[in-house]
Chains A and B, each alone.
Chain A
Amino acid sequence: MHDPHVILKVISKFLVPFIALFAFYVQFHGDFGPGGGFQAGVILASAVILYALIFGLEAAKKAFPPSWVRIGMSSGVLLYGGTGVLTWILGGDFLSYGVLAHDPAHGQHYGIIAVELGVLCSVTTVMIAIFYAFGSRQPEVDEDNW
């Protein structure tokens, strides 16, 4: 019944949603201030990694399944590249967002939001994938032998 990590569990359970919320704050702050997809992705991944460190890797894999990781990694790159291809189709250069709307300033706004969402998606899932890959390694030496 006595759990030595009860303080860590309570505090991190309280903090994980706020870390995710702060990640989205950084994400949507990115087109008119400091911030952006890379930083937001790392912060969002750190919420999942904190959950995994405190509650164990199995619980984290139940909350954020590894299949989501695979889908997120590829769809982030697809969203980034697809925005560029869409501007090609609409008659501009690769990733020239001005052609996305009638007003070029609005088009640049939509384009940067789409690209930053792609970056957020793949950075988050790549960070979580690296953590899952390292965390679920089998130990090469037995626990008793070192």
Chain B
Amino acid sequence: MIISTLSTVILDSNLGWTGLVQSSLSCLTIVTGLFFVFAGTIGVLRFPDFYTRLHAAGMTDTLGAELILVGLILQSGFTQTSLKLMMIGFFLLLTSPTATHAIAHSAYTANLKPKLGKHNFSKIRGGRS
């Protein structure tokens, strides 16, 4: 059923093979990027302390946004728009991990201890604190 409707849609539209590959690849990358953004959002809401939340947020900013941008580049084809999107992706790839590093480094310098849970250092060393 689904396959027959899909095939009629593909045959009716004048995409051609390259257009079909282009749009399905862009759909795939955008959906993967949305998955990473979604996972990052859940991580920011659910993780217990600062460093783990920062890890989730940094993942959203780099991998999720980059994959969505790659999908948009594939959508727009070989145009000026895709060149601008490539530049946005390049600068995002540079700045977003740097910002995450700066935040994590300043928290570490300000003596914010990571939450270690029940397997903390003293338990592992035999209960002596």
B17 within 8 A of A: no
> CA of A7 to CA of B101 in the docked complex: distance in angstroms?
9
The interface bits of chain B over 93-124 (1 if a CB of A lies within 8 angstroms of the residue's CB, else 0) are 01100100110010001000000000000000
B91 within 8 A of A: yes
Contact A15 B102 (CB under 8 A): no
Q: Is the interface of B mostly helix, strand, loop or mixed?
A: helix
Return A119 CB to nearest CB of chain B, in Å. Answer: 25
Q: How many A-B residue pairs have CB under 8 A?
A: 15
Q: Across the interface, name the chain B residue whose C-beta is closest to A4.
A: B105
> CA of A107 to CA of B101 in the docked complex: distance in angstroms?
50
Number of B interface residues in the complex (CB < 8 A): 8
Chain A, 7-33, CB within 8 A of any chain B CB: 7-8, 11, 14-15, 18
Partner of A8, one of B91, B102, B109: B102
Partner of A15, one of B91, B101, B105, B109: B91
> CA of A11 to CA of B94 in the docked complex: distance in angstroms?
7
Partner of A18, one of B91, B98, B102: B91
15 A/B residue pairs, CB under 8 Å, sorted by A: A4-B105, A4-B109, A7-B98, A7-B101, A8-B98, A8-B101, A8-B102, A11-B94, A11-B95, A11-B98, A14-B94, A15-B91, A15-B94, A15-B95, A18-B91
Which B positions have Cβ atoms within 8 angstroms of A? 91, 94-95, 98, 101-102, 105, 109
